[in-house]
Amino acid sequence: MPKPKQNNFFRTFSQTTSQLVGTPSAFFLAIAIVVIWAKTGPLFHFSDTWQLIINTSTSIITFLMVFLIQSTQGRDAKAMHLKLDELIHALNDARDKLVNVEDGSDEEIESLSQEFQQLHKHINEDKQADK
């Protein structure tokens, strides 16, 4: 089990990395690297090693980024659920069964989804009738 210090380091590292790689600068840097790699093709006679460099590099980066992005998205989703749970808890007319609904079965979630679609439909019909 990771220690709290390791968890804090990983959380900070993954959030910072996700923020940095999600910028236009990072995207254009990646394009620049690919262009430089492509332009060096003739210099290296489009060798197997030349191709292996980009293939290996992108595979490693992609593999590691999956974990970092999953970590930050999982954390963000959990925080969002907690905020929504707090709102549900604070509202008197809200149904408490919606707290932690993400832990319900697929059937329960689908049933609630259809219920809200019907509610939305009725609200729109009422708005149209009021016009």
**98 in any annotated domain:** no
pLDDT at site 104 = 84
**126 in any annotated domain:** no
pLDDT at site 1 = 59
**34 in any annotated domain:** yes
**55 in any annotated domain:** yes
**60 in any annotated domain:** yes
**42 in any annotated domain:** yes
pLDDT at site 105 = 87
Range of the domain at 20: 4-74
Q: With a cut of 70, list the residues of the chain below it in pLDDT.
A: 1-2
Output the six-digit token pair for 67: 């974990």
What's the total number of domains in the chain? 1
pLDDT at site 2 = 62
**131 in any annotated domain:** no
Name the strand (E) or helix (H) holding 22: none
**40 in any annotated domain:** yes
Specify burial of residue 14 (Cβ count, 10 A radius: 0-12, 13-18, 19+): buried
Torsion of CA 8, 89, 87, 99, to 10 degrees: 70
4-21 helix and 48-90 helix, angle to the nearest 10 degrees: 110
- pTM listed for this prediction: 0.62
| pLDDT tens string 80-99 | 988 888 888 888 887 877 88
